[in-house]
Amino acid sequence: MQTPITNKLITKAVIPAAGKGTRLLPLTKAVPKELIPLGTKPVLEHIVEEVIQAGITQILFVISEQKTAIRTHFGDGFNGVRFDYEFQRVQKGLADAIFCAKDFVSADPFAVVLGDSTIETDRDILPFRRVLDTYENTDASGVIVVQKTPRDEVARYGIVKPKSDVAPSFQIDGLVEKPMPDEAPSEYAIAGRYAFDANIFEYIKRTAPGANGELQITDSIGLMLADGAEVWCVALEDNEIRRDIGTFESYFEALIAEINRISRSDA
Ligand code: G1P
């Protein structure tokens, strides 16, 4: 059973950044993939700025022992925002990385922001802020950003099953990590921004290894749903684009988009 939630104001964010970055070798041999440049600053600095802009005041970076350059770069904090660090010693999957934040989170609600993807938007209210608003203004125990994705690419992502029509925000009644195209319950892919009750840790504890043999947060959210909790999604609008730096192809696309943005703003 879930512990009743009284505090729904989110001020804490967890940024998992412990992954090995093997798809970007040799670039990531000594440099964490989150610190590779996206224009004038590292990818992760763009993400930290997004998180701070949305109103978060405490950030925990989950890093590995090989990635302490992240701590060297960011230090203890910035403009009144506190930065903490926790090590994930063995990379057992995203759910396990989030579990490393248990002490930092305590009983508070919190956000999770993946350290390898940015979201481009021209809206006044950032998609990540819309996640926090949806969490705070509904009975959701979990909220996820999703983006519409071509069906032949669904196997790269977690895919949600909408409970009703897709709207700017909507409830789901299922989700699956990296489904085959003909098994995907929709074309809405999880896009790296989440909000959770601290109850999620109980579901992570009960999560068995899933896709790729890893502990998947998608499966923990599935357990939460099965227990009767509400899980909501915030859909990216047409002009909002998630860019990840997980592969050279996607990194180059993100880099070109950022260089074009810089040239436009210099013009
Ligand atoms: C992770 C999540 C997946 C999500 C993706 C993009 O997968 O497990 O549900 O769709 O990030 O945000 P990964 O890219 O680590 O394989």
The helix or strand, by DSSP H or E, that contains position 174, with its residue range, turns out to be strand 169-177
Cβ of 94 closer than 6 Å to ligand 1, yes or no, is yes
Q: Which domains does the chain have, with CATH numbers?
A: 12-266 (3.90.550.10)
Which residue owns the Cα nearest ligand 1 atom 1?
157
User: Structure pTM?
Assistant: 0.96
Cis omega before residue 26 (within 30°)?
Answer: yes
Rounded Cα distance, 124 and 10, in Å? 20
pLDDT by residue for the chain (267 residues), tens only, comes to: 566 667 899 999 999 999 888 999 999 999 999 999 999 999 999 999 999 999 999 999 999 999 999 999 999 998 899 999 999 999 999 999 999 999 999 999 999 999 999 999 999 999 999 999 999 999 999 999 999 999 999 999 999 999 988 889 999 999 999 999 999 999 999 999 999 999 999 999 999 999 999 999 999 999 999 999 999 999 999 889 999 899 999 999 999 999 999 999 876
Phi, psi (rounded to 5 degrees) for 89 = -80, -35
Ligand 1 within 6 A of 86 CB? Answer: no
Q: Which atom of ligand 1 is found nearest the CA of 216?
A: 8
